[in-house]
């Protein structure tokens, strides 16, 4: 084939553009696929955390219900003795440890004053104030 330069040059440029276009499409597809996988991994991690929090909330609720029925808390509220205080605090630490920085558990009297506290969660007192009329009694 003895083609002239008038035919070879456009064919060569077209072939070169086609190769560059295919290369760019391949690289672009790989980058989009990598980004999509990264987003999917992040969403999966967030969904996993949300589901774990839902289960933990249910478990925490049942633990708090069990703690509220604990006779040592009632004994501490009625007597205020050192022995019942220590056992009540130990029961509360089973729910929230003193090293927990994202939660706290408090035992309040009828006036809303904290009698016992475990955990290191700190918030403004005005945010966590409980009105005196708030009660769990029927």
More confident residue, 18 or 74: 18
User: What does the pLDDT look like over 115-131, one tens digit per residue?
Assistant: 888 876 665 444 445 55
**Residue at 4 is within a domain:** yes
Q: List pLDDT tens digits, range 82-128.
A: 888 888 888 888 777 655 556 677 888 777 778 888 876 665 444 44
pLDDT of residue 20: 97
The residue ranking higher by pLDDT, 2 or 130, is 2
Range of the domain at 86: 70-125
Considering the entire predicted model, what is its pTM? 0.44
Domain stop point among 36, 51, 68: 68
Q: Give 31-61 pLDDT, tens digit per residue.
A: 999 999 999 988 888 887 777 776 667 777 7
DSSP lists the bridge partners of residue 108 as 114
d(CA 126, CA 122): 12
Total number of domains in the chain: 2
Q: Above 50 in pLDDT, residue 3?
A: yes
Q: Do 81 and 106 have their domain in common?
A: yes
């Amino acid at each position: 084939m003895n083609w002239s330069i008038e035919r070879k040059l456009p064919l060569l440029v077209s072939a070169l553009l086609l190769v560059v276009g295919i290369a760019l499409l391949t690289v672009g597809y790989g980058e989009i696929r990598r980004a999509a996988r990264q987003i999917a991994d992040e969403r999966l991690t967030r969904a996993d955390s949300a589901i774990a929090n839902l289960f933990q909330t249910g478990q925490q609720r049942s633990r708090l219900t069990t703690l509220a029925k604990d006779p040592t808390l009632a004994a501490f509220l009625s007597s205020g003795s050192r022995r019942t205080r220590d056992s009540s605090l130990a029961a509360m630490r089973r729910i929230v440890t003193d090293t927990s920085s994202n939660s706290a558990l408090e035992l309040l009297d009828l006036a809303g004053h904290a009698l016992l506290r475990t955990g290191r969660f700190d918030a403004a007192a005005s945010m966590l104030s409980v009105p005196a009329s708030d009660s769990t009694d029927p």
